């Protein structure tokens, strides 16, 4: 186990209400104690847009940051019914934003559109959690590496601010299914992503890379042997403060 900062990111998806604030308080109370005694963790909760302002006004913390889950690619105001851009999310207090999630890709986000969104979020100094991952059919056709390579290459501008990017590897077949990749193959994928990023952007360092897909308090211990994993993007289990806290605790056991 290294001493490096680890990210535990919750993606609440289309769940949560004002009363979920109590979950955030619980996670915060736990982290204040835990981080003092043990490790450095960064907690990010990506919540529905309707809750961002409420949470960030009620709650200030260096340990927990609030993020959004997607945005419109347009940088300025416009006639885009039902849409919200990165600037608006920044204005209500978001610090992070998930982009390229497979559920958003499923709704029509292409690599080109994601590229525009990343650019507009970075222009607002938001931290971008950029999701990549192969589908089940791509996996069985042994296309994982070429899919990841293409997603990385076609959605990221060479001139982006590298300090504000986090990558999340989320195999689509693992999201919400209880299935996780084999540890050896996951290690290779993480090495591949980090090398590919450095090659594309001609840099010596890679941004943090997170794993996402069916992470829970039981299987989290399986990931500890992969030093290349800088943290986790957690869906279902992040909506319960107990499960989320147990994931962090068990990771360090
Ligand atoms: P689950 O943890 O529910 O599989 O979801 C993962 C995810 O989509 C996080 O972005």
Residue 233, exposed/middle/buried by CB under 10 A (0-12, 13-18, 19+)?
Answer: buried
Residue 77 CA, ligand 1 centroid: distance in Å: 31
Whether 170 is catalytic is yes
* Residue 102 CA, closest ligand 1 atom number: 8
Residue 121 forms part of a structural domain:
yes
Residue 233 forms part of a structural domain:
yes
Residue 56 forms part of a structural domain:
yes
213 in ligand 1 pocket by Cβ < 6 Å? yes
CATH number at residue 163: 3.20.20.70
Residue 150 domain boundaries:
6-251
Residues 205 and 167 sit within 8 Å (Cβ to Cβ):
no
Which residues does the chain have with pLDDT short of 50?
none
- Sequence-distant (6+) residues with CB within 8 A of 117 are 70, 71, 72, 73, 86, 99, 100, 109
Measured by CA distance, the residue closest to atom 1 of ligand 1 is 235
Whether 101 is catalytic is yes
Residue 143 forms part of a structural domain:
yes
Q: Rounded CA gap, 42 and 50, in Å?
A: 23
Bridge partners (DSSP) listed for residue 8: 43, 232
Residue 175 CA, ligand 1 centroid: distance in Å: 5
* Residue 98 CA, closest ligand 1 atom number: 10
Q: pLDDT digit string (tens) for 7-19?
A: 999 999 999 999 9
Q: Which of 101, 103, 134, 196 is catalytic?
A: 101
Residues 42 and 65 sit within 8 Å (Cβ to Cβ):
yes
Residue 1 forms part of a structural domain:
no
* Residue 103 CA, closest ligand 1 atom number: 8
- Sequence-distant (6+) residues with CB within 8 A of 233 are 9, 11, 98, 129, 131, 168, 170, 210, 211, 212, 215
For residue 85 the two structure tokens come to 């851009």
Measured by CA distance, the residue closest to atom 2 of ligand 1 is 235
Could you tell which of 8, 13, 106 is best to mutate to test the pocket of ligand 1, judged by most ligand atoms within 8 Å of the CB?
13
Q: pLDDT digit string (tens) for 142-179?
A: 999 999 999 999 998 888 888 899 999 999 999 999 99
Q: How many domains does the chain have?
A: 1
The per-residue pLDDT for 242 is: 98
Bridge partners (DSSP) listed for residue 99: 130
CA angle 54, 55, 57 (to 5 degrees): 70
Q: Rounded CA gap, 154 and 149, in Å?
A: 8
pTM of this prediction exceeds 0.85: yes
């Amino acid at each position: 186990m290294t001493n490096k900062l680890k990210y535990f990111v919750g993606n609440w998806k289309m769940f949560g209400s004002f009363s979920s604030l109590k979950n955030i308080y619980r996670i915060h109370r736990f982290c204040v104690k835990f981080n003092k005694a043990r490790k450095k963790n960064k907690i990010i909760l990506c919540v529905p847009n309707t809750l961002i302002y409420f949470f960030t006004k009620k709650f200030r913390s260096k340990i927990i940051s609030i993020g959004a889950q997607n945005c419109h690619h347009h940088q300025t105001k416009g006639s885009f019914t039902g849409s919200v851009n990165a600037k608006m999310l920044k204005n209500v207090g978001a610090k992070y934003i998930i982009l390229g999630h497979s559920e958003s890709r499923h709704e029509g986000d292409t690599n080109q559109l994601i590229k525009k969104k990343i650019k507009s979020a970075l222009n607002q100094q938001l931290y971008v959690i950029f999701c990549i991952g192969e589908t089940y059919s791509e996996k069985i056709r042994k296309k994982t590496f070429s899919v990841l390579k293409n997603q990385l290459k076609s959605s990221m501008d060479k001139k982006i601010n590298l300090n504000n990017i986090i990558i999340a590897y989320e195999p689509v077949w693992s999201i919400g299914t209880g299935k996780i990749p084999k540890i050896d193959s996951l290690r290779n994928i993480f090495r591949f992503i980090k090398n590919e990023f450095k090659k594309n952007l001609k840099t010596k360092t890679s941004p943090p890379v997170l794993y996402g897909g069916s992470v829970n308090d039981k299987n989290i211990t399986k990931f500890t042997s992969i030093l290349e994993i800088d943290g986790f993007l957690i869906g279902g289990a992040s909506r319960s403060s107990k499960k989320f806290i147990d994931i962090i605790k068990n990771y360090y056991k």
